[in-house]
Chains A and B, each alone.
Chain A
Amino acid sequence: MDSSYITVDGNEACASVAYRCSEVIAIYPITPASPMGELADAWAARDIPNALNITPRVIEMQSEAGAAGTVHGSLQTGALCTTFTASQGLLLMIPNMFKIAGELTPTVFHIAARSIATHALSIFGDHSDVMAARSTGWAMLCSSSVQEAQDMAMIAHSATLKCRVPILHFFDGFRTSHEVNRITSIDDDTVRSMLDEDLIRQHRERSLDPDKPTLRGTAQNPDVFFQARESCNPFYDAAPEIIRETMQDFARKTGRKYDLFDYVGDPEAERVVVIMGSGVGAVEEAIAELNNKGEKVGMVKVRVYRPFDSKAFIASLPETVQSVAVLDRTKEPGAVGEPLFLDVVASVQEDWTGPQRLKIIGGRYGLSSKEFTPAMAASVFAELNKPEPKRRFTVGIVDDVTHLSLKWDPDFVTERPDNVRAVFYGLGSDGTVGANKNSVKIIGENAGLAAQGYFVYDSRKAGSVTVSHLRFGKHAIESTYLIQRASFVACHQFNFLEKMDVLELAAPGATVLLNSPFDEKDVWDHLPREVQETIIERKLHLWVVDATAVARDVGLGARINTVMQPCFFALSGVLPRDEAIGHIKDLIRKTYSKLGQSIVDRNIAAVDQSLERLREVKIPVRAESARHRLPPIPGVAPDFVQRVTSMMIAGKGDLLPVSALPVDGTFPTGTTRFEKRSIAIDIPIWDADLCTQCGLCPLVCPHAAIRSKVFPESELKDSPERFESREWKNKEHPGYRLTIQVAPDDCTGCGICVDVCPARSKEVAKHKAINMTPKDEHLERERSNFDFFLKVPEMDRRSVKLETIKGSQLLEPLFEFSGACAGCGETPYIKLLTQLFGDRLVVANATGCSSIYGGNLPTTPWSCNAEGRGPAWCNSLFEDNAEFGLGLRLGVEQKHLIAKELLRQLGPKIGDDFVASLLSFSSTDETSLAEQRERVAALKKMLGQDQSLEARRLVTLADQLVPRSVWIIGGDGWAYDIGFGGVDHILASGVNLNLLVLDTEVYSNTGGQASKSTPRAAVAKFASGGKHACKKDLGLLAMSYGNVYVAQIAMGANPLQTLNALREAESYPGVSLIIAYSHCIAHGIDMGTAMTHQKDAVTTGYWPLFRFDPRNAHDELHPLRLDSRKPTSPFKVFADKEARFAMLQRANPSEAKELFEQAQADIDARWRFYEQMVGVSRHAHEPEVAEEVNS
């Protein structure tokens, strides 16, 4: 029996077993299951053999559907296979899952269960995905903890071989998949012993083999299909017992016992909760508390949900039970009840033999990782105690609409007082989470204590806040909820004190550790009054350390984690100080030695210096600070933002009742402007005297935090005293002024604007026309300036020269202040799109980075102009975005046609000339658009008097007479891989649609996995040895149709070509595809210089710029035009500046050399091919576009 402890998260616990039991693993990234695939790929890349003495073949597929298909195929050849997925990924696997089960094929799919997108996408955990797969005929085995994620994985791989029923093994996304906990590992011998050689042989013997040919996958007729479908019944009848036997076998080998259903609580319980998944931890704690108070309550943990062994379930109930509450972590609108509830009702109806009639109620809890606490569990037991409990209920929310929710007592807390309960507030960039994961490891693996870590992340990628919840104690920690009463609170960033209630969770007498630039004597006066009051009221012990200074002194930059961690150990007392410090240093050596001795030295120096600078603060008796915590929404905001959005921003979204939220997932746009995160340390300040008015800085700003505006001088009369402007160099607008203005609270401080600025001071060469400057020195002034700037009227679009960069930058961006990474390479394209077409833009957005920074609550950067017009945006799915966009276009066109038909019908009433002018509109220049809008407004006014059916219908549709610009936006994961089938179909459709591919050459949002866009020689997840295949040439594929407008652009290399391409694509009356080079932090680059680095991509030929315009595909004209010159430097010049390539040179120089040579050959060959294509004349049929939709 193996009893070694390891500290891992649920994903690693599960993947470790899956890897050891499999020969073929097909993977595809999806949160929160991606780490399982990443680990399997990394282990395979290192050629680590598994328990079957083979290195599994791990292959990334183009989608989860592809992964399931591959697994299905490998299974048919008798291989042992697995895959990992979640949510929509599981839905894509369902068709194959039916097949795999129908063919009685043993396999295990591991699922980090996650919400299915409905009214909104959510990456967090519930059972809606696995419940959607419950009809596939798979057994379903549920793990409720990190330990179980490992153990049940083993049981699943073992049992499936015997019962032949494939097993869906699932655990709760994030709560279990990402919780770090100390568990007892399973050694290879145990794994081997659980995989019966004879059963493996039988599986292989059933495989497709030309030496003994068989046929599977027949088509059957009504005469036999039904009977054949019933033939598998004995296997399902036998499966529960086989799984139970396997559990018993596992118990013999490991000492850990599980059953199909496990009962916990008073043996004579009268009230019982039935639940599966991580929620059992909270219920178990509630039961212990209630049992102590004499309440007869208990719980049935469901481990094997399918096949649902009714008799075993009934047997698990105590005979004394009177009432049962079934908790489902999913929602099935319109159903009598949720699935587990229905199964329980049916089982009791059929198999309960007790004398008493059981009262059964069903409730929902924990959707999308909503907290589920012992207090909530206690409220369920309390409900069961009522004479007339709610038959259907929810718990964990306040439902003030249908009043289904149960109230719970927030003071019902079951935290063990002897546990250390520590909460840490940090920035993603300061390393807080990493250090805390290490602390859990140190304590879990060295101190003989149980340890648990759970980490809450931000919705934004730039300046994201993290909250770490760590528990340590002598007993196993299964508290599957966030810490409610912390004995230790660490605030790793001093400015958090002003922005959030970091002491909210501090228990009376708790220790508070603050990273403070002020010492123990001065810090008190710098604390907000609310913080002072809490410290005094709760008698908190406050300690300070200037971790920022220590980290800076030892050369660790912003990474203060190694400074704060020893302070935590010193103050929390979880381990003797010296022992803890020893462990920290050991772990530093272990973690960083492969990164180099200098890294080890610096971190160890940080540890040594941290404790020397740790000081306790003497707490005064009174709170007298004049400072106060800032409101979440400064200033005026619309009602919805004030009531709802502000609560989410303040981290109080859990308190919003059902009535506060839209019924159908529809939200107002333009809300990021109310969320002043103020995350930049330095902001760009304009030097008007030097500015050449080129427009580059607002063009490249990823966050629309640098704006340019031109206005008559008269507008300056009420300007703030130090509002900068200079004469606008334009003969048509004499006397106009130009201002370049920073939005100081919205800037992320990336510095891209400064990097691209071409204007320098003659006296001080480093001084440009825009310069990064410490924000604190300018904040108040620039706030006032920006407020004024926003009030200055926008330039009339009709007066703007759209064909120039500087002109385009006078248009108002309708995409602003997104939560994208500082220096993001995607958002400048989107922002430009909104400047050009935003007031008539309809966007279909594929899931990925752009859907997250575009649509992840609490706020959205998609915005609208003063007239209330702006982009209408929707995210359907990852895989269907092209088709979804086509649907949008078709709908728009149909409405347009109907409006025109109605116009014709109403012509005699309205006036034929007026109708003719409305109908004859065809141009999309700004003047024509403005005139058409005026005509439409006049039309609606006229129609307002007319009560005829046609008139009322036309009023609804009249706005459609102004053409819409439909754009399909997404990343390379969508366009090259999962959505390529749809993209290809749209390319062939000839419909007036525009596709913008933001090509980062990896799956950026899920953490940098390789896509088919990933270039040869780049290191990425799922290609850790460097990608061997060349990048797919999507542009070339699109050009093959002949009538598709195709452009490959790189804003940083050629801004004007980018502008031209977007305008040409929009004007082309067929399908347009733009492939936009988008630098990304997953490239391992300096994001501050990433735009200018794009020039390297182009001059090396790595990213040739071109436009293929079918409007030139006639009369011997040449539709393809190369917009970049012949490569002037080798690929290596570009590659050496990017870690994705340079990593391989370090890790495997000989492989890198070979791949670099191949990559150079790719570039050379492609350039030669393009050069030849430029000279080719071609005739293509332009799309047949009806005059009505020529927009």
Chain B
Amino acid sequence: MNVDLSTRYLGLTLRNPLIASACPLNQDPEFLLRLEEAGAAAAVFPSLFEEQIEFQQQQIFGLYEYGTESFAESLSYFPELEDYNVGPTEYLRRLRAARDAVRFPLIGSLNGMTVGGWIQFAKLIEDAGVDALELNVYFVPSDPRHGSEEVERRYLDLVTAIRKAIKIPLAIKVGPYFTSFGHFARRLVDAGADGLVIFNRYIQPDINLETLDFFPNLALSESYESRLSMTWIAMLRGRVGAYLAATSGIHSVEDLAKILLVGADVAMLASAIYRHGPDHFARLEAGLKSWLIEKDYASVQQMKGSLSRENCSNPEAFERVNYMRSLVAYTSKPI
């Protein structure tokens, strides 16, 4: 039986709803080719980080100036180089190489949190030939003096600025920690977002018990983590006017099916690739197809959003009552 796995995301028609999320592996054109061959419908190129650009600029500036013009015999300590490549030259070179290597849609990615000179790179990424841009806003509002409106305003200003800078479709990838995410999602769309990628995993640092220091420690996601995305996609489906991409915790065909049922246009995978390799796309694609056949769906389009909050039979599942039931159900089990 033939089923149609295709979907649309950011105006792009994709062979299936499986996208390789932005991760360092994707900067290698050969790896992207493997993803494409395995059945990934698109890939997000690794992010160009605001900090990457500005931090390096500051570092080189610091080096350029440190210790100079202080002592008569050594007015500087390094040769002045013709080009420090502080811009995204190398990044764009790699992006172009990737673009040339694969046929499936390639989505560029910018990661930052301030409206600064670095947003000009959105245009450079667009010029490199990507099909869309994903703006990853990873912001930890660590200052307790900043209120929610102030935080949201930062996002919105950034989206507005990027939207102005480029013509290609723009997706915004955000975390879940907002007072009223649905309302905020609408504001993002109003500011120019064509799609929402939910949710960013906030990668908290770990503690080294020997040195008693924090250190970055990336832990791969688990399937249960997809429930957060699943919940909010269900709530937003049909209510925000934007493409919805689910990310975090999608590993199995079951995860995939659930996320599509609640209304995701696409599912984005990173941890699954690290865990199972690029061929996992082939397995997921085949598995999804089998599941659709088994369940008698004609297409992804058909199933997409069929279990959204609007379309599901028990919308109270998203409310307090579900929370209470869950607790009761769990605690009533014998220990």
Chain A residues engaging chain B, CB cutoff 8 angstroms: 31-32, 34-35, 38, 41-42, 45-46, 123, 174, 178, 427-429, 431-434, 437, 455, 457-458, 460-461, 464, 466, 555, 559, 592, 594-601, 760, 765, 821, 852, 1004-1008, 1019-1024, 1081-1082, 1084, 1139-1140, 1143, 1146-1147, 1149
Q: Are A598 and B84 in contact (CB under 8 A)?
A: no
Q: Are B71 and A599 in contact (CB under 8 A)?
A: no
A46 to B82, CA, bound (A): 7
Q: Are A597 and B77 in contact (CB under 8 A)?
A: no
Q: Which residues of A contact B294 (CB under 8 A)?
A: none
Q: Are A598 and B70 in contact (CB under 8 A)?
A: no
Q: Which residues of B contact A592 (CB under 8 A)?
A: 61
Most B CB contacts (10 A, CB to CB) among A46, A174, A1147 go to A1147
Shortest distance between the CB of B95 and any CB in chain A (Å):
15
Besides the known contacts A428-B67, A599-B58, 14 further A-B residue pairs in the complex with CB atoms under 8 A apart: A38-B79, A42-B79, A455-B69, A457-B70, A596-B61, A596-B87, A598-B116, A598-B118, A599-B57, A1020-B78, A1020-B79, A1143-B81, A1146-B85, A1147-B82
Q: Which residues of B contact A457 (CB under 8 A)?
A: 70-72
Shortest distance between the CB of B93 and any CB in chain A (Å):
9
A493 to B320, CA, bound (A): 62
A582 to B75, CA, bound (A): 27
Q: Are A1081 and B77 in contact (CB under 8 A)?
A: yes
Q: Are A601 and B116 in contact (CB under 8 A)?
A: yes
Q: Are B78 and A1021 in contact (CB under 8 A)?
A: yes
Shortest distance between the CB of A832 and any CB in chain B (Å):
25
Q: Are B84 and A1139 in contact (CB under 8 A)?
A: no
A809 to B130, CA, bound (A): 62
Q: Are B85 and A1147 in contact (CB under 8 A)?
A: yes
Q: Which residues of B contact A432 (CB under 8 A)?
A: 69
Q: Which residues of B contact A1008 (CB under 8 A)?
A: 74, 76-78
Q: Which of B58, B70, B86, B118 contacts A461 (CB 8 A)?
A: B70
Q: Are A1021 and B71 in contact (CB under 8 A)?
A: no
Q: With an 8 A cutoff between CB atoms, is B149 at the interface?
A: no
Q: Which of B72, B81, B90 contacts A32 (CB 8 A)?
A: B72
Shortest distance between the CB of B121 and any CB in chain A (Å):
10
Q: Are B81 and A1024 in contact (CB under 8 A)?
A: yes
A594 to B86, CA, bound (A): 7
Q: A461-B70, A1020-B79, A1146-B60 are in contact. Are A595 and B53 (CB under 8 A)?
A: no
Q: Which residues of A contact B84 (CB under 8 A)?
A: 594-596, 1143, 1146-1147
Q: Are A595 and B81 in contact (CB under 8 A)?
A: no
Q: Which residues of A contact B81 (CB under 8 A)?
A: 1019, 1024, 1143, 1147
Q: Which residues of A contact B116 (CB under 8 A)?
A: 598, 601
A42 to B46, CA, bound (A): 35
A1019 to B60, CA, bound (A): 13
Chain B residues engaging chain A, CB cutoff 8 angstroms: 53-54, 56-61, 63-87, 90, 116-118, 120, 212
9 contacts between A and B (CB under 8 A): A31-B73, A35-B75, A38-B79, A434-B69, A460-B71, A461-B67, A592-B61, A595-B64, A1147-B84
Q: Which residues of B contact A45 (CB under 8 A)?
A: 79
A1029 to B222, CA, bound (A): 50
Q: Which of A1006, A1022, A1149 contacts B74 (CB 8 A)?
A: A1006
Shortest distance between the CB of B27 and any CB in chain A (Å):
13
A430 to B90, CA, bound (A): 32
Q: Are B70 and A464 in contact (CB under 8 A)?
A: yes
> Is chain B's interface secondary structure helix, strand, loop, or mixed overall?
loop
Query: Which partner residue on chain B sits nearest A1139 by CB separation?
Result: B63
Shortest distance between the CB of B147 and any CB in chain A (Å):
23
Q: Are A597 and B65 in contact (CB under 8 A)?
A: no
Q: Which residues of B contact A597 (CB under 8 A)?
A: 57, 87, 117-118, 120
Q: Are A1139 and B59 in contact (CB under 8 A)?
A: yes
Shortest distance between the CB of A424 and any CB in chain B (Å):
12
Q: Which residues of B contact A1022 (CB under 8 A)?
A: 79
Q: A42-B79, A765-B212 are in contact. Are A458 and B85 (CB under 8 A)?
A: no
Shortest distance between the CB of A32 and any CB in chain B (Å):
7
Query: Which partner residue on chain A sits nearest B68 by CB separation?
Result: A434
Shortest distance between the CB of A189 and any CB in chain B (Å):
25
Query: Which partner residue on chain B sits nearest A468 by CB separation?
Result: B69
Q: Which of A433, A596, A1140, A1147 contacts B57 (CB 8 A)?
A: A596
Q: Are A852 and B73 in contact (CB under 8 A)?
A: yes
Query: Which partner residue on chain A sits nearest B120 by CB separation?
Result: A597
Q: Which residues of B contact A1147 (CB under 8 A)?
A: 81-85
Most B CB contacts (10 A, CB to CB) among A596, A599, A760, A1139 go to A596
A1168 to B143, CA, bound (A): 53
Q: Are B73 and A1005 in contact (CB under 8 A)?
A: yes
Shortest distance between the CB of B117 and any CB in chain A (Å):
4
Shortest distance between the CB of A1095 and any CB in chain B (Å):
12
A717 to B86, CA, bound (A): 61
Q: Which residues of B contact A1019 (CB under 8 A)?
A: 78-79, 81
Shortest distance between the CB of B295 and any CB in chain A (Å):
50
Shortest distance between the CB of A677 and any CB in chain B (Å):
14
A852 to B71, CA, bound (A): 11
Shortest distance between the CB of B334 and any CB in chain A (Å):
41
Query: Which partner residue on chain B sits nearest A1024 by CB separation?
Result: B79
A1084 to B63, CA, bound (A): 6
Q: Are B70 and A428 in contact (CB under 8 A)?
A: yes
Q: Which residues of B contact A1004 (CB under 8 A)?
A: 74
Q: Which of B53, B54, B69 contacts A466 (CB 8 A)?
A: B69
Shortest distance between the CB of A760 and any CB in chain B (Å):
6
Shortest distance between the CB of B97 and any CB in chain A (Å):
13
Q: Are A1007 and B61 in contact (CB under 8 A)?
A: no
A598 to B58, CA, bound (A): 8
A32 to B71, CA, bound (A): 12
Q: Which residues of A contact B86 (CB under 8 A)?
A: 594-596, 1146
Q: Which residues of B contact A35 (CB under 8 A)?
A: 75
Shortest distance between the CB of B82 and any CB in chain A (Å):
5
Q: A464-B71, A601-B117, A1146-B56 are in contact. Are A595 and B79 (CB under 8 A)?
A: no
Q: Are B77 and A1007 in contact (CB under 8 A)?
A: yes
Q: Are B73 and A428 in contact (CB under 8 A)?
A: no
Shortest distance between the CB of A515 and any CB in chain B (Å):
17
A45 to B116, CA, bound (A): 34
Q: Which residues of B contact A38 (CB under 8 A)?
A: 79
Shortest distance between the CB of B134 and any CB in chain A (Å):
22
Q: Which residues of A contact B120 (CB under 8 A)?
A: 597
Shortest distance between the CB of B205 and any CB in chain A (Å):
14
Shortest distance between the CB of B49 and any CB in chain A (Å):
13
Q: Closest 5 interchain pairs by CB?
A: A428-B70, A596-B57, A1007-B74, A1024-B79, A433-B69
Query: Which partner residue on chain B sits nearest A592 by CB separation?
Result: B61
Q: Which residues of B contact A1007 (CB under 8 A)?
A: 73-77
A301 to B274, CA, bound (A): 78
Q: Are A760 and B212 in contact (CB under 8 A)?
A: yes
Query: Which partner residue on chain B sits nearest A558 by CB separation?
Result: B65
Q: Are A428 and B74 in contact (CB under 8 A)?
A: no
Shortest distance between the CB of B94 and any CB in chain A (Å):
10
Shortest distance between the CB of B146 and any CB in chain A (Å):
18
Q: Which residues of A contact B69 (CB under 8 A)?
A: 428, 431-434, 437, 455, 466
Q: A597-B118, A597-B120, A1146-B86 are in contact. Are A42 and B80 (CB under 8 A)?
A: yes
Q: Which residues of B contact A32 (CB under 8 A)?
A: 72-73
A1007 to B68, CA, bound (A): 9
Query: Which partner residue on chain A sits nearest B60 by CB separation?
Result: A595
Query: Which partner residue on chain A sits nearest B87 by CB separation?
Result: A596
Query: Which partner residue on chain A sits nearest B80 by CB separation?
Result: A42
A555 to B57, CA, bound (A): 12
A46 to B80, CA, bound (A): 11
Q: Which residues of A contact B65 (CB under 8 A)?
A: 431, 434, 559
Shortest distance between the CB of A1144 and any CB in chain B (Å):
9
Shortest distance between the CB of A201 and any CB in chain B (Å):
34
Shortest distance between the CB of A124 and any CB in chain B (Å):
8
Q: Are B53 and A598 in contact (CB under 8 A)?
A: yes
Query: Which partner residue on chain A sits nearest B66 by CB separation?
Result: A1081
Most A CB contacts (10 A, CB to CB) among B66, B79, B90, B116 go to B79
A1022 to B80, CA, bound (A): 11
